[in-house]
Chains A and B, each alone.
Chain A
Amino acid sequence: MLRRCLGRMVIAVAGASLAYFAATLALDPRASLESRSPRPPRAAVSARLASLGLDDRVPPARRYAAWASRVARGDFGATLDGMPVRGELLRRAGASLRLVVAGGGVGWAGGVLLGAVGASRPRGVLDRLITAGALVTMAVPAFALAVLLQTAAQGVNAWAGVPVFAWTGEYTPGAAGAAADRLRHLLLPATVLTLGQAAMCARYQRGLMLDALSSDWGRAALARGLRRRTVLRRHALRVTLAPMTTFAAYGFAALLTGTAVTEKIFAWHGLGEWLIDSIAADDVNAVAACGCATAMTVALVGLLADLAHPALDPRARP
């Protein structure tokens, strides 16, 4: 267990470091500052870059060392605007987490359910409908799906005469406390994520279940006269949950920064939007922090999935 922990940590550190190098080599904060109109004096730009630890005259390895030692102490530096990255990172991670847990959670559960239903009668009408739905959902880009949902919600609002749905941000500014307002704002973006996750999980789950049925023990159980349904529900579902958890865990980590499109369209100020905005602004410290957060999340959920594995699969218990 300890070795696993260490291994995951090494991977996280390596991932974060790679992210920093990618950011610092690919992005050019000097260009971004100098392209402002009117063009600022060169000395002012250099002073600013030096104060942020982004001076391009310092070799990248030295910059990396300085950055790494700061991050080890929990200090992610400042954005190009001079704001502390740490506070922003936590705030953004919170926003993304709320969206991903709601959308991804429902999507994952729904996907497992749909996949299981589909596998119970493969090539039946229901299975084909689910399969078709899943493939269609996966084929439609998130951007199109979001606009489609907004247009539909707009229709509902117009028909109802009261704004049932709202889809700009997490809540109406000034009404931060109201749970109903938050829920109203959560529905649409979470649905976009739910659909995508459910479609993927359903396909995966269906495949796993069918594999389980055609495995040695599955065929043995059927041969002994157990009903197909019973085998699926009692045995196959249980066995497939373990790989499914791993799959969902890594999917979750990818979602955390991978929801940029959804976040942008719904003005949800989370990590994905921040990453895209920071790349566009050549903000090295912010991009590196996003990379760091992703690396840590992947390591963490991997660890959690490892921990959950024995609980879900008796064969994995020591």
Chain B
Amino acid sequence: MRPPPLALSLLRTSSRRPGASSDWRLFLVVLGRLVGGFGSSGLRSVSVGLFLLFTSVCMSWRRLGVASERRPFLVVLGRLAHGSGSPRRRSASVVLLLLLTTACAPVHGPARPLSPIGAYDIAPTPRERVRDGGTLRLATTEFPTQWNYWHLGGADLDTARILGALMPWLFRSDQRGRVAADPSYLVRAEVTRRKPRQVVTYDLNPKARWSDGTPLGYRDFRALWRACRGRDGAYQITTSTGYDRIRQVARGVNDRQVVVTFDRPFGEWRSLFSPLYPAETIGDPSAWDRAWSDRLPVTAGPFRPEGIDHTAQAITIVRDTRWWGPRARLDRVVFRYLARDAMPGAFASGEIDAFDAGADAAAYRRARQVPGTGVRRAAGPDFSQLTFNGAAPALADANVRRAVAMAIDRRALARSALAGLDWPVRLLNDHAFVNTQEGYQDNTGDLGTYDPAAAGRLLDQAGRRTRGPTRLTNGRPLTLRYVYPASAATGRQSGELIQVMLGRVGVRVELRPVPDSDFFDRYLIPGAYDLAPFSWIGGPFPISNLGPIYGRPHGNDVRQNVARIGSAPIDTLLDRATEELNPAKARRYANEADRLIWNEVHSVTLYQRPQIVPTRQSLVNWGAFGLSTPAWPDVGFRR
């Protein structure tokens, strides 16, 4: 829940009424300052602003000549503000007002130099310099109740973050999205045969045991595969990607060796079986649903659960002494569910040690001023983009889409969306990989640069001639429906900018805010839109997710390709990228596909979403992780 942009709408009201008195204007400006001032300039400007606000209300009412019987409180305030109302005192109070207005100006401090954003920012510190002990308190945006990550109700990012400290994740990603086996769980894992079928052999760490004493083994792999392959509808699963390609999971030379045979090759096989669960807790559909509902019966990580407090909506985990890997530095970690609006306050009162402010400028400003705070920042794995509907009549012609894409100044959109975050704008020019990721390259071709003149020429060539200010398509004005979730302030802002940008080339844009929960289901999936802004979630395994988004729809089933734009060559390349076992080649195929995706103008990518994490300065090996996996045993406070 974001506060409504009160200042903006009110200021607009005032501009529509040119006759409004100067007091009203002052009132509105002060109100604007006041609303904008929360979190930034603290108590002073807020209290001063409140005073100003009511003083100017009184002055205005006086001028408007409201009968004094009807406004006793205003008279009181008016007297307070103006004294007895003698001309001298009044001028004094006006001077005072002016002084206060200047005092109320937002405190922005000196402009910060915008250093380029790194791939991660976690105050990396060697383990010896991290204090042994301490409690880390963090905020989560959801209070997870289904701890089975693979369950339909289970997979969200915060649950995954907590599970990272408790469950076996076989591979770890670095800040550029390169994955390597975690030696605590895997001695070795590699493709041992390619022909006739891909075979992957995992050798588990012999020390790796579940907290109930049973060693990790092939049975756990097999149970997870059987549930997730999607053949048995009784298992409520969140994804079958990868698992549906597996033919067999078998025991190797011993229980600790797992041999996985694939029917069709799967390049991102490292994404599978993480996190792993003990076979007996997920082996049948009822256990699948219930064994992890609101509890964590068995774990195998540097921490173990201590308790779940439903009233405080907090989950506490403590160091697990049976853990065979490097001993965790922290004694305890407390995760508390907080609404996003509560996080800056909780951080300011010292009740949490770090939180992700995302792209919330007000939260960022408020947290920045808390003493002892370091703001850690990195480009996150998610990215923001604008999707075109290729099935809609207005945008069915690829040349029209191309012209629209060229007439949109992506840099201006990014700059407005990231304003107030001290964030240097860097455009994203790849659908498959984010800027900080291994494999990223600019695939935009001629779409990468803002060129309204060329856009105009393209539209002329496509037969969308202008009559008056707008172009026509089949005799009707060329109008695009820009559909966005009503609560997304950035969505509206970008829409207004796009309206102006496309207006310059004669294309009309209608802004259509829709209820958040209807956005995908009632507009994007059925195709009732022309342009739609939203974000895609990224990660170290992007390639296997490309197929559903950029592959051609099968009849009515668009999967996630709400643009309904695709081609046979794109499908072939995406299949090839998904099946390629050599990561470098797979990335090359993905980028080749991306060049074609740009060429079809499926969507325009905008920017990598920021991770802005205000953190206590003493906390190390924690912060903005980008694509990397947190190293839980090393997290702690500085010695």
Distance A43 CA – B285 CA, assembled complex (angstroms)? 14
Q: Does B608 contact A (CB under 8 A)?
A: no
Q: Mark B334-366, 1 if CB is under 8 A from A, else 0.
A: 101111011001101111100000000000000
With A83-B294, A144-B38, A147-B39 as contacts: A174 and B334 at CB distance below 8 Å: yes
Distance A227 CA – B517 CA, assembled complex (angstroms)? 63
Do B153 and A31 have beta carbons less than 8 Å apart? no
Do A44 and B152 have beta carbons less than 8 Å apart? yes
Distance A41 CA – B50 CA, assembled complex (angstroms)? 53
Q: Mark A147-163, 1 if CB is under 8 A from B, else 0.
A: 11011111101100001
Do B548 and A38 have beta carbons less than 8 Å apart? yes
With A128-B75, A148-B46, A151-B46 as contacts: A169 and B289 at CB distance below 8 Å: no
Do B293 and A82 have beta carbons less than 8 Å apart? yes
Which chain B positions have C-beta within 8 A of A144? 35, 38
Q: Does B311 contact A (CB under 8 A)?
A: yes
Which chain B positions have C-beta within 8 A of A163? 349-350
* Interfacial residues of chain A within 113-161, with CB under 8 A of chain B in the complex: 123, 125, 128-129, 131-132, 135-136, 140, 143-144, 146-148, 150-155, 157-158
Give the interface segment out of B233-241, B407-415, B471-479: B233-241
Closest to B335 in A: A173
Q: Does B178 contact A (CB under 8 A)?
A: no
Least Cβ distance of A203 to chain B in Å?
11
Q: Does A246 contact B (CB under 8 A)?
A: no
With A131-B72, A169-B312 as contacts: A39 and B560 at CB distance below 8 Å: yes
Q: Does B54 contact A (CB under 8 A)?
A: yes
Q: Please tell me which one of the listed residues A44, A148, A265 contacts residue B233 in the complex, with CB atoms under 8 A apart.
A: A44
With A169-B312, A169-B336 as contacts: A132 and B76 at CB distance below 8 Å: yes
Do B521 and A30 have beta carbons less than 8 Å apart? yes
Closest to A122 in B: B72
* Interfacial residues of chain B within 285-328, with CB under 8 A of chain A in the complex: 289, 293-294, 309-314, 316
Which chain A positions have C-beta within 8 A of B461? none
Q: Mark B48-71, 1 if CB is under 8 A from A, else 0.
A: 001000100000000000000000
Do A266 and B342 have beta carbons less than 8 Å apart? yes
Do B146 and A81 have beta carbons less than 8 Å apart? yes
Do B521 and A173 have beta carbons less than 8 Å apart? no
Q: Please tell me which one of the listed residues B316, B348, B521 contacts residue A154 in the complex, with CB atoms under 8 A apart.
A: B348
Q: Does A178 contact B (CB under 8 A)?
A: no
Which chain B positions have C-beta within 8 A of A81? 145-146, 153, 293
With A144-B38, A173-B336, A267-B338 as contacts: A82 and B153 at CB distance below 8 Å: yes
Distance A167 CA – B348 CA, assembled complex (angstroms)? 10
Which chain B positions have C-beta within 8 A of A143? 3, 341
Do B520 and A168 have beta carbons less than 8 Å apart? no
Distance A123 CA – B68 CA, assembled complex (angstroms)? 12
Do A45 and B72 have beta carbons less than 8 Å apart? no
* Interfacial residues of chain B within 147-196, with CB under 8 A of chain A in the complex: 152-153, 155
With A31-B521, A170-B312 as contacts: A265 and B238 at CB distance below 8 Å: no
Least Cβ distance of A18 to chain B in Å?
20
With A30-B521, A150-B345 as contacts: A174 and B316 at CB distance below 8 Å: yes
Distance A3 CA – B116 CA, assembled complex (angstroms)? 73
Q: Mark B66-94, 1 if CB is under 8 A from A, else 0.
A: 00000011011100000000000000000
Q: Please tell me which one of the listed residues B237, B371, B548 contacts residue A44 in the complex, with CB atoms under 8 A apart.
A: B237
Most chain A beta carbons < 10 A, residue from B336, B338, B342, B518: B342
| Interface residues on chain B, number (Cβ under 8 Å) | 69
Q: Does A34 contact B (CB under 8 A)?
A: yes
Closest to B515 in A: A26
Distance A43 CA – B240 CA, assembled complex (angstroms)? 12
Closest to A155 in B: B43
Least Cβ distance of A178 to chain B in Å?
13
With A81-B145, A131-B73 as contacts: A28 and B537 at CB distance below 8 Å: no
* Interfacial residues of chain A within 32-53, with CB under 8 A of chain B in the complex: 32-41, 43-45, 47-48
Q: Please tell me which one of the listed residues A88, A148, A150, A276 contacts residue B349 in the complex, with CB atoms under 8 A apart.
A: A150
Closest to B34 in A: A144
Q: Mark A162-180, 1 if CB is under 8 A from B, else 0.
A: 0101111111111010000
Distance A157 CA – B352 CA, assembled complex (angstroms)? 16
Do A47 and B240 have beta carbons less than 8 Å apart? no
Least Cβ distance of B206 to chain A in Å?
34
With A44-B152, A82-B153, A266-B342 as contacts: A132 and B518 at CB distance below 8 Å: no
Q: Does A102 contact B (CB under 8 A)?
A: no
Distance A175 CA – B3 CA, assembled complex (angstroms)? 32
Which chain B positions have C-beta within 8 A of A172? 351
Most chain A beta carbons < 10 A, residue from B311, B350, B521: B311
Least Cβ distance of A47 to chain B in Å?
6
Closest to B155 in A: A36
Q: Please tell me which one of the listed residues A27, A83, A155 contacts residue B293 in the complex, with CB atoms under 8 A apart.
A: A83
Do B234 and A47 have beta carbons less than 8 Å apart? yes
Closest to A151 in B: B43
Distance A276 CA – B230 CA, assembled complex (angstroms)? 34
With A36-B155, A36-B238 as contacts: A41 and B230 at CB distance below 8 Å: yes
Distance A250 CA – B230 CA, assembled complex (angstroms)? 52
Do B145 and A82 have beta carbons less than 8 Å apart? yes
Q: Please tell me which one of the listed residues B42, B238, B348, B520 contacts residue A40 in the complex, with CB atoms under 8 A apart.
A: B238
Q: Please tell me which one of the listed residues B1, B47, B236, B371 contacts residue A276 in the complex, with CB atoms under 8 A apart.
A: B1
Distance A107 CA – B358 CA, assembled complex (angstroms)? 37
* Interfacial residues of chain B within 192-249, with CB under 8 A of chain A in the complex: 230, 233-241
Distance A48 CA – B42 CA, assembled complex (angstroms)? 47
Which chain A positions have C-beta within 8 A of B311? 91, 94-95, 170, 176, 269
Do B312 and A157 have beta carbons less than 8 Å apart? no
Closest to B47 in A: A148
Do B153 and A154 have beta carbons less than 8 Å apart? no
B residues bordering A, Cβ < 8 Å?
Answer: 1, 3, 35, 38-39, 42-43, 46-47, 50, 54, 72-73, 75-77, 143, 145-146, 152-153, 155, 230, 233-241, 289, 293-294, 309-314, 316, 334, 336-339, 341-342, 345-346, 348-352, 371, 516-518, 520-522, 536-537, 545, 548, 559-560
Knowing that A82-B289, A128-B73 are A-B contacts, what are 8 other residue pairs whose CB atoms are under 8 Å apart, sorted by A's residue number? Answer: A34-B520, A39-B559, A128-B72, A132-B77, A147-B39, A157-B349, A265-B345, A280-B517
19 A–B contact pairs at CB < 8 A?
A31-B522, A34-B521, A38-B238, A40-B236, A44-B152, A47-B236, A80-B153, A135-B73, A140-B50, A148-B50, A157-B350, A166-B349, A168-B342, A171-B312, A173-B316, A264-B1, A264-B341, A267-B336, A273-B339
